[in-house]
Amino acid sequence: MKKEQVYFLWGDESYLIDKEIKDIHTRLRHNYGEVELLYLDGDEMSGRQLIENLQFTSLFCEQRMVVIKKPAFLGKGKRKAARNDELRKAVEEFLLQDMEDQTLVLTAEEHDNSNPLVKILDRQATVLQFKQASPQYITKWAQEECKRRGLKASAEVINLLSRSGQDMYYLENLIEKLSLMTMGGSLTVQDLEEELENKEETRVFALTDALLNRNLRSAFRAYNQLLEQGE
């Protein structure tokens, strides 16, 4: 049976996943008023600590929203397997309980069909996938972001943004920077080209970020791209 207050958001577009988390929180606030928002690090606690945090009831808010982003216990890794099993069981135990006053959001980069908790989430949670945004999506999004800041951008400028290959967080920060530089005026192709980093130049940062996040798939992807570049 589906639980309306459990979400499993997965995919490689972190910007869109974070946007969905904000949207869920906004909807809850619209329905219930003040909503406590809590982010938990699922890799830095025991199963007992996790279940205690999930079962905690706020004295000041009618509703509570708990977010656990990219925990190792939703992946395939065998690192700290015993702890991951303990954490998975803690979440499974929590899902058996009444959740009228709490919303749980779990995120992952991949959908691991062999993971027992993922199988449960497929049955009980609202599961949403967020693939890397297409150039068509980014085109519309970039137009709206520029318009919101009063920044005038030609179709050529928008096309350059959408075809850059950069992630949406990078593009959002770039649009904000260019808006401040031009004081909300017109953005030229030259302005953009001077500030837009070549994606190949940022692969090394993608590699180090993936290693720090213990994301094996993304790390190997960035590593192989660097090799292809002769780095």
pLDDT of residue 202: 55
Higher-pLDDT residue of 166, 38: 38
* Range name among 4-8, 95-99, 139-143 with the lowest pLDDT average: 95-99
Residue 218 structure tokens: 């993304």
pLDDT at 17 over 90: yes
Mean pLDDT (the chain, rounded): 86
Residues 89 and 42: beta-carbon distance below 8 Å: no
What's the pLDDT band for 51 if we cut at 50, 70, 90?
confident
What percent of the chain stands above pLDDT 70?
92
pLDDT at 133 over 60: yes
Residue 160: count other Cβ atoms within 10 Å of its Cβ: 16
Residue 224 structure tokens: 């192989």
- Continuous H helices in 112-188: 116-124, 135-148, 155-162, 168-182
Residue 42: count other Cβ atoms within 10 Å of its Cβ: 22
The phi-psi region of residue 150 (left if phi > 0; otherwise alpha if psi is between -120 and 50; otherwise beta) is left
**Residue-wise pLDDT tens digits, 148-205:** 999 999 999 999 998 888 889 889 999 998 888 888 788 888 888 888 875 555 567 7
For the entire predicted model, the pTM comes to 0.79
pLDDT at 81 over 80: no
pLDDT at 77 over 70: no
Residue with tokens 């069909």: 113
